[in-house]
Structure formats: C-alpha cells, structure tokens
Amino acid sequence: MKFIDSIEILIRGGHGGSGAVSFHRAKYVPKGGPDGGDGGHGGSVKFLATNRVSTLGKFRSKKSYAARPGEAGQKRNRSGADGADLTLQVPVGTVITDADTGEVIADLNLPDSEVVAAQGGRGGQGNARFANSINQAPEYAQPGLPGEEKRIQLNLKLIADAGLVGLPNAGKSTLLSKVTANQAKIGAYAFTTLNPNLGVLENNEERRILMADIPGIIEGASKGAGLGLSFLRHIERVRVIIYILDLTSVDPAADLRMLRMELKHYNPELTERPGFIILNKLDEIDYDEKFASELAQALKEEMQGLAEDIVFISAKEQAGLQEFKDKLFACFPEITQAERMLSINANEISESAE
C-alpha cells in the first residue's frame, strides 16, 4: 500500500424533491383549494476532520459520493423530508480544494472542524404556493433542483518532511537542536514555536526541511505502552523516517528491528516508507572500517532495501552532521512541507498587511 496524501473524488449534493400538485378533497367541499406540499431539500456533502482516521486511503477504492435526495412534496400541504447529509471523515490536516477552479474550500486544521463542500438542491414548491386571486387552482408545481456537483482534490498536509524515530536516549533531541535553525531564527517559523518537537533544516541553496522529533517509541508502543500511540500517529504524517540508533547499544541492529516492529504493528505501511539511518554517539566508540561495514550491512538487511543512506554521526560533538544534512536534502527533490508552509505564511502576512 502506498502512502496517499493527495487524491481526487467526485461529490454531489442530493437532488431536491419536487413540489406536489394536489387539491384538497373532503366531504361537503366539492372543489377544494390546492394543497400540494413542497419537496424536501437535498442533503449536502460535508467533510469532517477527525483524528479517528489518519490517511486518505479509503478514498482510493471509492471515488464518488452523493448525499440523499429530498423527498417529493405530498398532498394536504405535507412537505417532503429533507435528504440526509453525507459526512465524509478526513484526517486533521486535510486541505479541500475545488479541482476545477483551484479554489481552496477549506483547510481543516482542527479536530472536529467541518465544511459543506457540495450543497443539496432546493426542494421545489408545491402548487399550494402558486395560488393567487387570478389562479386559484394552479396545476403546476416546481421541480426540485439538482445538488451541486464538484470534483474535489483532497490533500493531506504532512506535519513534517522527516521524522526522527529512535529509542529514548538515542540522541533525537540533541540532533534536532544541532541541525535545525538556532532559536532566534526559529522565531521566524511560526509552526515550530507551536510545537517544540519541530525544527527547520536549511541548506545554502535555500532549501528547507521540516524535521520532527518523535519521542516515546519503546517496546510495546504500538499496543499503547507509554504514550506510544499518540506519538505513532505523528509518524504517519512524515515523508521520510529517520531511524536514529545508539552506537553504544549492545546491538543497534536489534534496536532497529524493534523500532520497525512497533511501526509495523501500528501500521504496516510505515515500514515501507523511505528510511534513513543515523548511527549516533560515534565519539563513544572505537570506530573501525570492518565493524562499520558489517553493521551497515546488518542494518540494510533490516531495512529490506528501503534505507537510502546510513550515516555515522556524533550529535554531541557535531561530527558527520554536514554529511547527514546533504544526504537528507537529497531525499527531497520536490518542494517540501517546510517550503510550502513558509510560502503560505508569506501569503498570509502579505494579505493581512493590505
């Protein structure tokens, strides 16, 4: 299964019910007035952001969605029932765009935020509405109107371009602090001040990568140990997973296996995502080529060919960090989340200045 972060679907509001043509009939009332009720309105298609779903995967198998039509009006001035709305659940962070016009309908950043994306059609008026002094017995009623129909592009914003996954004490926080923009500069990135576990890496070609420190992955995290599940949810929304391993550990390859097992139990697709391996605390060991190449080999086997790169570093002594950055940037030939967010911020700033 592929990680889906962009998908197109068709949505349609329900058709409005038609108005009724009917005349009052009762004993002793030979010629009653018109009493055709109105048709019900068609249901609307809505999107609801929720943490209960984390990908757009379900929209891959079903591409077209319609809300219920309104019922027709009835005699004795009874209105038809409105059609039920159709609410489609999407992950928090989904941007909903009209695929034909490019207009952003909603940016659902908060849990439980909701938007009507396709209105249902109006119900038609029954003939009772058309009676007047000239025509006291209108023989016509309105048909219901069709619901709005739209091609919708759903985009799930990633929370970060790359996520750091490692056992407690592997050096995630240290690395994040050493490779991301310094505190003064971080102030310019509004999103990083909202979340202390995010940092922006910059290179001298003005590229930027948003990196997340994802703490709390321990054995059993996928079964809810610690705060495991709440952290695992974040990993679903990064493009590249950086595994950070501690070279002073008894068996770094076993640590990697355990980390990947937790990811796999949570969501098998995570272990198929591009990976990147960092071996940290180089300063603590006696490095030799044979040990390094054997370890690299063992780690590549754990990754089943999905590791783009393996880099030895010392976060503390700032060794190997340039190589790490260069190789990480090479994983992102396309525009990154950091770059996208920054251009959005720039637009917002220029709009509010007007």
Ligand X SMILES: Nc1nc2c(ncn2[C@@H]2O[C@H](COP(=O)(O)OP(=O)(O)O)[C@@H](O)[C@H]2O)c(=O)[nH]1
Residues that bind Mg ion (CB under 5 A): 172-173
Which residue from 15, 150, 172, 208 is in contact with ligand X, where contact means CB under 6 A?
172
Residue type present at position 294: E
Q: How far is the CB of 223 from ligand X (least distance, A)?
A: 21
Residues 45-104 binding ligand X (CB under 6 A) are none
**Residues 209, 200 contacting (CB under 8 angstroms):** yes
Least distance in Å: CB of 176 to Mg ion? Answer: 8
Q: Which is nearer to Mg ion, 68 or 281 (CB)?
A: 281
281 interacts with, out of ligand X, Mg ion, none, CB within 5 to 8 A per kind: ligand X
Span interacting with ligand X, options 59-67, 161-169, 263-271, 338-346, rule CB under 6 A: 161-169
Please identify which residue in 168, 196, 220, 224 interacts with ligand X, judged by CB under 6 A: 168
**Which CB sits closer to ligand X, 186 or 321?**
321
Binder of ligand X out of 17, 39, 91, 171 (CB under 6 A): 171
Least distance (Å) between residue 246 CB and ligand X: 8
314 near ligand X (CB under 6 A): yes
User: 3-state SS string over the chain?
Assistant: CCCCCEEEEEEECCCCCCCCCCECCECCECCCCECCCCCCCCCCEEEEEECCCCCCCHHHHCCEEECCCCCCCECCCECCCCCCCEEEEEECCEEEEECCCCCEEEEECCCCCEEEEECCCCCCCCHHHHCCCCCCCCCCCCCCCCCCEEEEEEEECCCEEEEEECCCCCCHHHHHHHHCCCHHHHCCCHHHHHCCCEEEEECCCCCEEEEEEECCCCCCHHHCCCCHHHHHHHHCCEEEEEEEEECCCCCHHHHHHHHHHHHHHHCHHHHHCCEEEEEECHHHCCCCHHHHHHHHHHHHHHCCCCEEEEEECECCCCECHHHHHHHHHHCCCCCCHHHHHHHHHHHHHHHHHC
Question: Among residues 169, 230, 304, 343, which is the contact residue for ligand X, using CB under 6 A?
Answer: 169
Residue 111 or 168 with smaller CB distance to ligand X: 168
Compute the least distance from the CB of residue 217 to Mg ion, in Å: 11
In angstroms, rounded to a whole number, what is the distance separating the alpha carbons of residues 32 and 34? 7
# binding residues, ligand X (CB under 6 A): 15
Residue 280 or residue 336: which is nearer to ligand X going by CB?
280
Among 105, 128, 145, 315, binds ligand X (CB under 6 A): 315
Tokens of 116: 């009507």
Nearer to ligand X, 103 or 284 (CB): 284
Shortest distance in whole angstroms from residue 324 CB to ligand X: 12
Chain positions 278 to 307 lying near ligand X, rule: CB under 6 A, are: 280-281, 283-284
User: Applying CB under 6 A, which part among 22-30, 171-179, 190-198, 336-344 lies near ligand X?
Assistant: 171-179
* Residue numbers at the binding site for ligand X (CB under 6 A): 166, 168-174, 280-281, 283-284, 314-316
